[in-house]
Structure 1
Amino acid sequence: MPFGNTHNNFKLNYKVEEEFPNLSKHNNHMAKVLTKEIYGKLRDKQTPSGYTLDDVIQTGVDNPGHPFIMTVGCVAGDEESYEVFKDLLDPIISDRHGGYKPTDKHKTDLNFENLKSMTDAEQDQLINDHFLFDKPVSPLLTCAGMARDWPDARGIWHNDNKTFLVWVNEEDHLRVISMQQGGNMREVFRRFCVGLQKIEAIFKKHNHGFMWNEHLGYILTCPSNLGTGLRGGVHVKLPKLSTHPKFEEILTRLRLQKRGTGGVDTASVGGVFDISNADRLGSSEVDQVQLVVDGVKLMVEMEKKLEKGEAIDSMIPAQK
């Protein structure tokens, strides 16, 4: 259904200066990028479905910031949003994805054979030490109208073991989840890749595939998820490392991010964190999951060093 944009036509009766939002107290990527000039240039534009600039930025205007993460502050209502509002979205994407340029091309790799995982012995030891836990289900996001008509047209499909789930119309049209207890990231990733390819094969029989292009990779509602749309996370217990003064720096250098085990809005309990890849755009699915596997392995080694009272300065990696 097209978006209702009569409100936007009415707002054009007012000057840019009267309609430009006050973002002086906001802390999100949209607020950093949006200027009065960009607002004036784009505010009369709309996508074929009727999505406007005010629709794009509404969530960032209403929500000045987030206590744990740097939010994006905007959403795309349809695929065309990334072209119609590119003057705003391109610099936001660059800011969020480490300088990713409008001319860059995203690569995709869903061949799970390319992923090197830990050895069985390493996995068993991590499980015995209670360092690794299962990947959590992401929390429901309701801002920017995504909960409209809830719970109509929503559903969940899963396998008998409930290790592979497909959420229908949660944040995007589909959220595909592969998860299991233990530390076998390769098996989780294999199931994700195979399942995703089988799902798209079904769609293509009906002349529909996933939205994808060479520059942005897979098209998702939130610009922070463009590219792979993949978050590969594990629960890992780091009571010593998490209190180390360089913990945040270590995460940044490893291109990883942390959150509580209950989701993005939760804090750590007992030194247990959900550690996942910070990047989505500019590198492949295999590359991103490999960063998690290698990074978690290194942080567990650091944790064990700190338990023995030893220094970890020599283990801190260079910026990736």
Structure 2
Amino acid sequence: MPFGNTHNNFKLNYKVEEEFPDLSKHNNHMAKVLTKEIYGKLRDKQTPSGYTLDDVIQTGVDNPGHPFIMTVGCVAGDEESYTVFKDLLDPIISDRHGGYKPDDKHKTDLNFENLKGGDDLDPNYVLSSRVRTGRSIKGFTLPPHNSRGERRLIEKLSVEALTSLDGEFKGNPSPPFWSSCSSTFRHNDNKTFLVWVNEEDHLRVISMQQGGNMREVFRRFCVGLTKIEDIFKKHNHGFMWNEHLGYILTCPSNLGTGLRGGVHVKLPKLSTHAKFEEILTRLRLQKRGTGGVDTASVGGVFDISNADRLGSSEVAQVQLVVDGVKLMVEMEKKLEKGEAIDSMIPSQK
């Protein structure tokens, strides 16, 4: 049974109109979806751990949005948030993930053998390759709602799991950065496999290396993730997953695979082509500067990654990156020779 949430019950002394947030200057998915009707229907509900509607939306109320990027504007506090507050979260998920419906089924595929190619991206253009994801551990609330005791136990289990890895995954965890938060960062000896503990998600897992061998990066990613989950399962704490939403993570934008597979790639000619943005859209890819979301390209180098998270598998999403980047490098070489690329522009995937 949920414990009593006295503060949330106190809010019910006030009318919906008096409690409804002012979202008139907001640009995020939550503000777009939330109505007084939805607020009135959900505001007295809470998950078994006591997470409420106002907890869900607070980040989007506090942060009106980004001038160029449609942010999500809400976070889950536990696995049950996606069920208890589905009247709000289902439309947000649909809006953010291209019309993904409440009865759609997600595909999971972490068999790296199913990836075609990926070991032949031209290293003269593809400077580095990286695959990351998040994971939530069953039986705990999510980081926006964690207690200190939960964070410390998550860290303890994670350190135990990570220090038991051997072979290419062998390494040492660093001490907590903030003792009150119990955050841990750990990498293997080669610094090609990294794990953050208790950041935005319980675990953030990253595989990366210099050059264009995305196949090797993805293989290490899949094998490492499987090894980590097997250790957690021995403690009866597998990863949160269901057939509708795939892997459950804190931000609805990361549901499904939670995967961002990206490469730093030199495209000085193609990036100034009139159809560069259209090509990315058709390939279901997105670009960032090499320093992150808000950074500009330096010397025509971009961070190119998959745009999708929910509804297609890990293999499918990395395959889009591999195939799309390979095509764009071929376009770049054509443009260097002064040749046209019109015939190479793909149809929408």
Q: TM-score, normalised by structure 1?
A: 0.86
Structure 2 CA distance for partners of 1:273 and 1:134, relative to 1, 3 Å:
farther
Deviation at 1:126? 4.9
Cα offsets for 1:206-250 (capped at 9, x unmatched): 111000001000000010110111111110112222222322222
Structure 1 residues without counterparts, runs of 5 or longer: 140-149, 151-157
Cα offsets for 1:66-93 (capped at 9, x unmatched): 2442211111011000000000101111
Deviation at 1:135? 20
Q: Does 1:137 align with 2:173?
A: yes
Q: Percent identity?
A: 92
Compare 208-217 and 117-126 and name the one that shifted more.
Answer: 117-126
Contact 1:136 1:263 in 2 (8 A): no
Match for residue 277 of structure 1 among 293, 306, 310: 306
Contact 2:2 2:50 in 1 (8 A): yes
Q: In structure 1, what is the Cα distance between the partners aligned to 2:299 and 2:171?
A: 17
Deviation at 1:173? 0.3
Structure 2 CA distance for partners of 1:41 and 1:302, relative to 1, 3 Å:
same
Q: Which runs of 4+ in 1 moved over 3 A?
A: 1-7, 118-129, 133-139
Compare 159-168 and 66-75 and name the one that shifted more.
Answer: 66-75
Q: Does 1:101 align with 2:137?
A: no
Contact 1:112 1:286 in 2 (8 A): yes
Contact 1:134 1:180 in 2 (8 A): no
Cα offsets for 1:147-166 (capped at 9, x unmatched): xxx4xxxxxxx211111111
Q: How does 1:218-229 map to 2 (within 5 A)?
A: 218-229=247-258
Match for residue 297 of structure 1 among 326, 336, 345: 326
Cα offsets for 1:125-183 (capped at 9, x unmatched): 75699xxx9999999xxxxxxxxxx4xxxxxxx21111111110111000011000010
Q: CA RMSD in A?
A: 3.7
Deviation at 1:102? 0.8
Contact 1:134 1:181 in 2 (8 A): no
Q: How many residues align?
A: 300
Q: In structure 1, what is the Cα distance between the partners aligned to 2:332 and 2:243?
A: 40
Contact 1:46 1:84 in 2 (8 A): yes
Q: In structure 2, what is the Cα distance between the partners aligned to 1:204 and 1:168?
A: 17
Q: In structure 1, what is the Cα distance between the partners aligned to 2:3 and 2:279?
A: 44
Q: TM-score, normalised by structure 2?
A: 0.79
Deviation at 1:19? 1.8
Structure 2 residues without counterparts, runs of 5 or longer: 130-168, 179-186
Contact 1:134 1:235 in 2 (8 A): no
Deviation at 1:315? 1.9
* Structure 2 SS opposite 1:120: coil
Deviation at 1:295? 0.9
Q: How does 1:78-97 map to 2 (within 5 A)?
A: 78-97=78-97
Structure 2 CA distance for partners of 1:108 and 1:225, relative to 1, 3 Å:
same
Deviation at 1:311? 2.7
* Structure 2 SS opposite 1:257: strand
* Structure 1 SS opposite 2:173: coil
Structure 2 CA distance for partners of 1:269 and 1:138, relative to 1, 3 Å:
farther
Q: In structure 2, what is the Cα distance between the partners aligned to 1:109 and 1:136?
A: 29
